[in-house]
Amino acid sequence: MQQISNCELELMKIIWGSKGKALYADLVKALEEKGTPWTKNTIITLCSRLVDKGFLKTNKIGRRNEYTSVISEAEYQATQTQDFLEKIYEGDAKGLVATLLQKDLLSCEEYEDLKRHWERGGGSK
């Protein structure tokens, strides 16, 4: 899976949050609501890049483009997490969890939830 920029990711989050589909007007509205209005050219360029990278496909609805995600948010998160784990922790998940705990990035409640998840057989290994 190719890497995407932070701006491309912002558009993908909007599309994922819209059940995987969004019209150009939906993107403009969502960006304005976030306080980050972009120009028409910026949005179209970023969407074109996401199509080229295989993240989106475009469907014509009359004169309008509907952008549909090809890669789900869960797929993207899993790939990015795995890449991060390999790159930063050389695949050592315990090291990642230890850092999350030591730096108070994982609350006790979240830790207990994860522990219960694993105890129920929620892990794949």
Task: Encode pLDDT of 48-88 as tens digits.
Answer: 999 999 999 999 999 999 999 999 999 999 999 999 999 99
The answer to whether position 124 is within a domain reads no
Residues 63, 81 within the same domain: no
Whether residue 21 is contained in a domain is answered as: yes
- Specify the pLDDT at position 37: 86
57 shares a domain with 25: yes
Domain membership of residue 1 (yes or no) is: no
Q: How many domains in the chain?
A: 2
Q: pTM here?
A: 0.86
Asked if 12 and 53 count as a contact pair (C-beta separation under 8 A), the reply is no
Beta bridge partners of 56: 69
Mean pLDDT for the stretch of residues 12-23: 98
Residue 62 and residue 82 in one domain: no
The CATH number assigned to the domain holding 65 equals 1.10.10.10
What percentage of the chain's residues is helix, strand, coil (to nearest 5)?
Answer: 60, 10, 30
Same domain flag for 10 and 65: yes
Note down the domain range covering 110: 73-119
Pick from 57, 56, 64: which is nearest to 9 by CA? 56
